[in-house]
Amino acid sequence: MKSALKWDVIAKCGTTKARAAVLTLPHGPVNAPVFMPVGTQGTLKGITPDQLEGLGCQIMLNNTYHLGLRPGQELLDACGGAHTFQGWNRNLLTDSGGFQMVSLLKLAEITEKGVQFESPHDGSLMLLTPEHSMSLQNSIGADIMMQLDDVVSSLTTGPRVEEAMWRSIRWLDRCIKAHKKPESQNLFAIIQGGLDPALRAQCIEEMVKRDTPGYAIGGLSGGEEKDKFWRVVSQCTDLMPREKPIYCMGVGYAEDLVVCVALGVDMFDCVFPTRTARFGNALTATGTLSLRQAKFKDDFRPIEEGCDCIACKSYTRAYLYTIVTKETVGCHLISIHNTAYQLRLMRQVRESIIEDRFPQFIHKFFKDLFVEKSAYPEWAVNALKSVNVDLIQGEETQN
């Protein structure tokens, strides 16, 4: 199918499967590996588009299901799409609405035709079919659109997993047929199959035949064991086309990002940075600070030394302790910091790949975050060992 993107790999890690690339989209270049902040309903919670652009963000997410409800397709068409509507001049990726099959399961009914949702706002019904999802995403004008897939919880087992996998393939065909703007919007396929390696392999084999501009690993980050999570990710990156971008959906913890880059993933998204900010939690290279704790009441340091976000340049931990979870500006400032942290982390990862020192970066990252090797997550140790990085012994081998 047609593609409205250009994918240029500029460096490969000599040890892991990591790579640095430039993804050129209709609204500008995106440096990968990339973390994409999530603005579900047309905005990141607590951050303006100008502030997000000031942090160096090149691409963010919107959600098709939510924008289809409010403001609705008619208004999106009238204003020329979501870029104009929300004042965002850089790239957009839209989640098709499939994930709401899990998150709003009590409000959804799934059939071969599509998914019928009951609006959480007013109880009205919406039938989201592959065709309607494509129509909405064409109206939104996203630079990258996701196919409507049949999403089941990663904890689901049995025939339902295979059913969802095959239905996702059939729905991809319907999405391709319904997509009206392939010259300006890119449609990505989503690999399903749960935690079953055979189903994942079968799904990839079928979806690669459709030759979409990029591919996503779906159906993870739903509470499954991390040792199973990384094995699915690694299997998928081994089997998916390496000449196209690979996106792992719903991944946002710092250690997950670093490990998955090593396993060959290029793109990530998650609500975690802004969601955890609403509880007063600030992300740093040495771990999460719960700024609600009284120990910060007379701590006049910034959230993180060396961070140049407005929260760190202009405010102290003591000030944030005073207002966090009480005043909206506290959530606003921590959201800015957390988003800045995630974006900076990915820039550092990318630079280390380009300079072929990514394994050394991984060692320092884990040492800073966990201090003692005994505290390193076992799944991360196993995952990195599979790509020749030994966190415990510190001995790497070249591919």
Residue 396: pLDDT over 90: no
Lowest mean pLDDT among 41-50, 113-122, 345-354: 113-122
Report which DSSP code applies to 122: T
The CATH class, in words, for 9-270 is alpha beta
Share of the chain above pLDDT 70, in %: 96
Lowest mean pLDDT among 125-129, 196-200, 203-207, 230-234: 125-129
Residue 288: pLDDT over 60: yes
**115 or 170: which leads in pLDDT:** 170
HSE-up (13 A, CA, CB side) for residue 7: 18
Q: Which band of pLDDT confidence, cut at 50, 70 and 90, is reported for residue 69?
A: confident
Question: Is the distance from CB of 133 to CB of 175 less than 8 angstroms?
Answer: yes
Report which DSSP code applies to 290: E
Tokens found for residue 227: 């040792």
Strands 28-32 and 125-128 come out as unpaired
Residue positions annotated with a catalytic role: 95, 269
User: Under the phi-then-psi rule, with left for phi > 0, alpha for psi from -120 to 50, and beta for the rest, what region is 261?
Assistant: alpha
Strands 19-25 and 267-270 come out as unpaired
The segment(s) of the chain belonging to CATH 3.20.20.105 are 9-270
- What's residue 399's pLDDT? 57
pLDDT in tens, 211-238: 999 999 999 988 999 999 999 999 999 9
Measured CA to CA, the distance from residue 287 to residue 371 in angstroms comes to 10
Tokens found for residue 376: 């390193």
pLDDT in tens, 123-133: 777 788 999 99
Q: Stretch 7-36: mean pLDDT, rounded? A: 98
Residue 300: pLDDT over 80: yes
- What's residue 395's pLDDT? 65
- What's residue 68's pLDDT? 86
pLDDT in tens, 75-101: 999 999 999 999 999 999 999 876 665
Mean pLDDT of the chain: 94
pLDDT in tens, 116-170: 877 766 777 778 899 999 999 999 999 999 999 998 889 999 999 999 999 999 9
Q: Which residues are registered as beta bridge partners of 25?
A: 28
Distance of CA 149 to the CA centre of its chain: 16
123 CB burial (10 A radius; 0-12, 13-18, 19+)? exposed
Residues within the annotated binding site for Zn(2+)?
Answer: 307, 309, 312, 337
Taking CA atoms, 26 is separated from 249, 265, 353, in Å, by 22, 22, 26
